[in-house]
Amino acid sequence: MGEDVLSVFEHAIKVLSCKDDLVDSRENEEIFLQVDSAQMEHIFSTLVDHLQIQEAYNIFVLNPKPIGKRINYGYRKGFSESEINLLRENKTLQARILQSKSDNKLFLDIEKGVNRRPLYESHPLSSFSWTRTDSMDMGDWSKKCKEALSKFELLKEGKSKEDIVYEKAVQILHGTKDEVHDIVQSALKSSDLKGLHAQCLTDIWIGRERFAFVDLSAGPFAWGPSVGGDGVRTELSLPNVAKTVGAVAEVTEEEAEEKLQDTIRERFSSFGEDYHAVDILLAEIDVYELFAFKHCVGRRIQLALCKGTLR
């Protein structure tokens, strides 16, 4: 996807996110945000419709710019643990939600079926094909999405914790009737929200319309038994962009010098008194190769240290 398309999803992540822990007011600490996966799914649905690829199975891989240095995020449909606790303790809020009606302002208003741009128009008989949207006019779709997101962002300003939980509940109760809808509806009718639990944050989401998306900038997450086995998800299950390309882009000259010295100390600490010149030479080569691979290859702006290391 081109920059115009990616910018829509970068904007959406910011607009559709809120704190995973609503009661956490600490500053200068690493925080986790939850992004509304249902609303994000709707944006992807409009993209699929715009490109007329709903007859195929599609996987979208996102690599958006990080929101901030100490901010992580994941996708979730439903409530976080702190939202459930707030809702459980506030009977007035529960009653207000049960008496609520559908409100279109709480849903992204992105119209489908306007100025479509069929992606496979040039090769409609292809079963499997790599196609880029860079060369296509995505301006209409991008403009519609950004306008809808900007309106949605204005409506979110100044909302209290109770307002956030109320609006999320209304979206679920008056949105798509699925498993989450049934669980929330049943829980609200009980006195103690029985059966309502927080879903895991995730960086992968499977939509209802033959598409899924993977966000390489979200997480990382680890689920499953601590011992391991089938179905276990670890932090290495998806490529970590921040530790590969991202790490290369962010390191400064001073940090690079420090990392090189650390690597040298680590590599040579294994030598005792009984060593040969050839061992030292091989160790030096190891150090410089490792440093060059991690901090020099692929940089747009070369460090002074890299110029000598890559020779």
**Residue 73 has what pLDDT?**
93
In the block, tokens 């008056």 appear at 174
Q: Are 309 and 286 in contact (CB under 8 A)?
A: no
Position with higher pLDDT, 302 vs 210: 210
If residue 47 lies in a helix (H) or strand (E), which one and from where to where? helix 37-51
Query: What span, in angstroms and rounded, lies between the C-alpha atoms of 127 and 122?
Result: 13
| Pairing outcome for strands 204-206 and 71-76 | unpaired
Position with higher pLDDT, 95 vs 24: 95
Burial class (CB in 10 A: 0-12, 13-18, 19+), 172: buried
| pLDDT tens figures, 142-192 | 999 999 999 999 988 888 999 999 999 999 999 888 888 898 999 988 878
**Residue 136 has what pLDDT?**
59
Query: What span, in angstroms and rounded, lies between the C-alpha atoms of 309 and 62?
Result: 33
Among the listed ranges 142-146, 167-171, 199-203, 246-250, which one has the minimum average pLDDT value?
246-250
What average pLDDT does the segment 5-14 reach? 94
Among the listed ranges 30-39, 185-194, 285-294, which one has the minimum average pLDDT value?
285-294
| pLDDT tens figures, 210-222 | 899 999 898 877 6
Position with higher pLDDT, 276 vs 34: 34
pTM of the model: 0.69
Among the listed ranges 73-82, 86-95, 285-294, which one has the minimum average pLDDT value?
285-294
- What is the band of 37 on the pLDDT scale with cuts at 50, 70, 90? very high
The yes-or-no verdict on residue 108 having pLDDT over 80 is yes
